[in-house]
Amino acid sequence: MGNPLEITDLVYKKNQKKIITNLDLTLKPGKIVALLGENGAGKTTLMRIISGVAKNYRGTVKVAGFTKEADRKGHLSFTDGLTGFANSTKISDIIKFYQILYQDFNLKQFEQLREFMNLKPDLRLSELSKGMKEKLVVALTFSRRVDLYLLDEPFSGIDAMARKKIIKSIILWKQEKSTILVSDHFVNEIAAVLDEVVIIKNKTVCMQKSTEAIRADNQSVEEFYESFYQREEDE
């Protein structure tokens, strides 16, 4: 089996506008990696391409050694906004959906995560606050056993307590060999749990570096990240 993720020479255009150009990215097993970049840098698009729900791209995308979209989807778990459900859908119905659609969905694990996050199963989607929904999405994503987890801005717009809960759940429930790619435009809170940072700028990956190597240069991860966007403003 190959690396959790291997992307070579990825190009993606939409409406005749280049969104990603010549992007290469390899992630090794067992890592927690941040995908950093400004809003609109293409983080979500990249995750959607990896998951095979964005189409018409060029280049190769391998997940756990598989290039076919169906296999890729089977070996990764992507935080989906649950937009395919009506607002009146109960959490228990969503669980049923996941159980049926994903064979690797582990109900016991979900129940543990759900309790850890203090989510009641009889609630409906419309009754969830933003933080609760974010927690539910993360719980669902981590209840699958896969090689690659794609977390698309799981901390956007939620309070510090919920954030801490989600981070702790990531540490607790991550399997040894699986790799997590978590996108954010903000790195401070998660810096301590990261192995690596990947920075997207100018439609491609401009830097991939280990966080401890950054700190060994007496730099904080945040300073390091900001320096990339600083440079552009200076130019």
Partner 1 sequence: MEFKDNIPIYLQIKQYLYRQIITGKLKPGKKIPSVRELAVQLTVNVNTVQRALQQMNFEGILYTKRGEGNFVTEDTTLLEKTKRELINAELDKFVQSMNSFGVSDEQILKSLTEYLKEERK
Partner 2 sequence: MAEFSRLFNRFFKIKTRKLHIILFFQLIAALACAFFTYYEVTNWHIRKNPQNNVGLIPEWTLYFVILAFLVILFVFILTPLQSEKFNHSQTWRLAGISDSQFYLDNVLSTFVSFIYMLALEVVATVMLGFLSFLVDKDFQRGLHDFLMDLHPNFDYNVFWTVIGTIVLAILSCFFLYFVISFFNFASQSIIDFVPANVNGALVKILHLFIIFVLIWFFFKIQHIFVYKILLSVFNPANYGLAYSSDLPFAILSTTICNLILLGSNVFLFNHFYEASERK
Output the smallest distance, CB 5 to partner 2, in A.
Answer: 16
Output the smallest distance, CB 14 to partner 1, in A.
Answer: 35
Which one among 39, 83, 126, 218 touches partner 2, defined by CB under 8 A? 83
Q: Quick one: which of 83, 86, 57 has its CA closest to 69?
A: 57
Burial class (CB within 10 angstroms; exposed 0-12, middle 13-18, buried 19+) of 39: exposed
Tokens representing 135 are 């927690």
Output the smallest distance, CB 16 to partner 1, in A.
Answer: 41
Burial class (CB within 10 angstroms; exposed 0-12, middle 13-18, buried 19+) of 171: exposed
Residues near partner 1 (CB under 8 A) are: 30-32, 164, 167-168, 171-172, 174, 176, 188, 191-195, 211-212, 215-216, 218-223
Would you count residue 108 as binding partner 2 (CB under 8 A)?
no
Would you count residue 119 as binding partner 2 (CB under 8 A)?
no
Output the smallest distance, CB 216 to partner 1, in A.
Answer: 5
Tell me the HSE value of 121 on the side-chain side, using a 13 A CA sphere. 14
User: Please, which residue, 39 or 103, has the CB nearer to partner 2?
Assistant: 103
Nearest 5°: the CA angle 116, 119, 122 is 140
Q: Quick one: which of 47, 57, 53, 55 has its CA closest to 25?
A: 47
Stretch that binds partner 2, among 73-81, 181-189, 201-209, 223-231 (CB under 8 A): 73-81
Residues that bind partner 2 (CB under 8 A): 14-17, 44, 48, 51, 53-56, 68-71, 73-74, 78, 80-85, 97, 100-103
